Structure 1
Amino acid sequence: MAGKQKGLPGFTPISDRIFIRNQDSSDITGKIPDDHPTTIIIYGWGDGHPKNVAKYVDGYSKLFPGARILMVISSTFAATYQSLEQRTKAMMPIIDTVFPTPDDDSSRIILHIMSNTGGIYAAATLNAYQERHGRDKALPHHLCINDSTPGSLDFSREVGRWSKAMAVGTAKWFPWPFAVTQRIWWTFLYAMYLLEKAIGREPSGIYSCRVFLDHSIATPKAPRAYLYSKTDDIIWWEDVEAQAELAKSKGYKTMLEMFDDSPHVGHMRVHPSRYWSTIENHWRSTVALE
């Protein structure tokens, strides 16, 4: 295991983008309650700063003290250009840490996915599990929280919003105006779209949505909660509801929680009490189903 990363106190890295929260002694004084999750994996939004994503770790540690919490830092650029094999390899440390053996009935796991980029790496984790343990096994988890995801897969309609999201995350890298940065990313996304069509490679966003609807890869035993907003300018609320309805039609239990005035991946910041009570209530409902 790698040493602690400078600038990210309270976490131990297990790769260049995956971190485990260091538990306080007060967190581990007793046995984790049977109605609490044992592990929570948070997939951060594209280009989310570790210190900002870590606020969700703090929220979960207060909600479920003692749970092991992993944080995945996501790059929108990497999520776009990496192959499935590369994305899968990047997520393999999660499998080796959380799922060293298959069929562990003692684990109770929450996947917390943020934005489409987080979904891309969550899907890669599902694939990594099968790479390690066999195609006849699906990664076991008990609840899947979808924050501001998934959205539409219509490239021509979405490329403008995707390029804006990439520009928001990277504007500080460049000296020129925001509009120039967005145009650069728009050109990059369009080039990748044409390249993938030419070589017959499935785009990462399409792959992630597809596997999360496949019972052999994404277990239907785990309910899905969708947290989204009418004022999200990156992922439209209509698209989230359409994706949730599609998942429901495929046999997945879905729960919707709409916020009226929060931005993309901003529901927790604008409505912290409601956000965490919603997650806690969904977890309690999940436990009651078992």
Structure 2
Amino acid sequence: MAVKPSFPGFTPISDRIFLRNEDSKLGSIAEEKPPVDHPTTIVVYGWGDGTPKNVAKYVDGYHKLFPAARILMVISSTFAASFPSLEQRTEVMLPLVDVVFPTAGDRAEEEKVLFHIMSNTGGIYAAATLNAFQHRHGRHRRLPHHLCVNDSTPGSVVFATEVGRWSRAMALGTAKLFPWPFALTHALWWVFLYAVHLVERARGREASGVYSCRAFLDHGMATPRAPRLYLYSKADDLIWWEDVEMQAEAARGKGYAAVLERFEDSPHVGHMRVHPQRYWGAIERCWRESMAMEGV
């Protein structure tokens, strides 16, 4: 059993899932009743190799917007998003489902959930959460959520055109671990990803990134009542803006409301840092619009 790490201001639910908890007592935030038009639960899925300290800055931002909301933070390495099977990824997300949705039915439907997904790694574990909910409560149920914020995601899922950028992302996340030049680390991860790709094809296993995009376009898993907000940039060298817009158009074609907020100069998962007012303003506006659609 993995050791639960300690992180100031959070209660560890597992080695990858943390609950924002001001009083260091599990459930204290959840016991405060949020305003009727505020989210009750926010889940922030960090980017690949994002540290708790850095991902927590987004949790802080949400706490300022919605101070009574229960906020969970999910962290993962890029490696852990790329290699494990769907069953393994689902197992990792079951503790989150058990905290937010201990039961299905009317009580679960009362939750107002906001997903904040960062980069493709965040998307992979958000999709695993959808699957974990159905694993726990039945395939006929969908995890209730009311807004899905996509920060620097999703990109293209075509392996041949994306392997270079995926391997670069993994190299960036692990560069400090290796003494040799960055180009060698990049090349090694490229070889590793290509080997994993060949193994997945031989097994007939769907790649994690492909599955996550498919899950969030499936009405049986991701409810169409939840609009999508895409925060992305022309300057992002890991997730191209054209791919984000293509994925947004695919979502619209499946009946999902999609709002595009394109930045010109911010780097990958760097939009909040470069344009904080515009960033949080877009999220708050889309949440209000989502609640208006619900008649709240």
| Interval containing the TM-score (normalised by the shorter chain) | over 0.9
Structure 2 match to 1:201 = 205
Alpha-carbon displacement from aligned partner over 1:103-127 (angstroms, at most 9, x marks no partner): 3232111000000010000000000
Structure 1 match to 2:264 = 260
Give the drift of 1:187: 0.6
Distance 1:237 1:3 in 2: 38
1:106 to 110, 114, 118: 110
Contact 1:3 1:13 in 2 (8 A): no
Alpha-carbon displacement from aligned partner over 1:30-72 (angstroms, at most 9, x marks no partner): 6311011010001000000110000000000000001000000
Q: Do residues 71 (structure 1) and 73 (structure 2) align?
A: yes
- For residue 61 of structure 2, what is the amino acid of its counterpart? G
Give the drift of 1:79: 1.0
Give the drift of 1:3: 9.1
Q: Judging changes above 3 Å, is the alpha-carbon distance between structure 1 residues 279 and 24 closer, same or farther for their aligned structure 2 residues?
A: farther
Structure 1 match to 2:95 = 93
Structure 1 match to 2:60 = 58
Structure 2 match to 1:5 = 5
Over the matched positions of the two proteins, sequence identity in percent amounts to 70
- Summarize the alignment of residues 151-170 of structure 1 with structure 2, pairs less than 5 Å apart: 151-170=155-174
Distance 2:104 2:31 in 1: 28
Aligned residues: 288
Q: Which runs of 5+ in 2 are unaligned?
A: none
Give the drift of 1:28: 7.9
Q: Do residues 211 (structure 1) and 210 (structure 2) align?
A: no
Q: Judging changes above 3 Å, is the alpha-carbon distance between structure 1 residues 202 and 3 closer, same or farther for their aligned structure 2 residues?
A: closer
- TM-align CA RMSD: 1.7
1:145 to 146, 149, 174: 149
Q: Do residues 37 (structure 1) and 39 (structure 2) align?
A: yes
TM-score by length of structure 2 reads 0.94
Structure 1 match to 2:20 = 21
Distance 2:32 2:85 in 1: 43
Structure 2 match to 1:46 = 48
Distance 2:3 2:192 in 1: 35
Alpha-carbon displacement from aligned partner over 1:237-264 (angstroms, at most 9, x marks no partner): 0000000000100011111000110000
Structure 2 match to 1:189 = 193
Q: Do residues 130 (structure 1) and 129 (structure 2) align?
A: no
Q: Judging changes above 3 Å, is the alpha-carbon distance between structure 1 residues 232 and 287 closer, same or farther for their aligned structure 2 residues?
A: same
Give the drift of 1:4: 7.2
Distance 1:13 1:210 in 2: 30
Q: Which runs of 5+ in 1 are unaligned?
A: none
TM-score by length of structure 1 reads 0.96
- Summarize the alignment of residues 244-283 of structure 1 with structure 2, pairs less than 5 Å apart: 244-283=248-287
- For residue 131 of structure 1, what is the amino acid of its counterpart? H
Alpha-carbon displacement from aligned partner over 1:75-126 (angstroms, at most 9, x marks no partner): 1101111000000000000110001111323211100000001000000000
Distance 2:157 2:31 in 1: 46
Structure 2 match to 1:239 = 243
Which SS does the other structure have where 1:141 is aligned?
coil
Contact 1:113 1:122 in 2 (8 A): yes
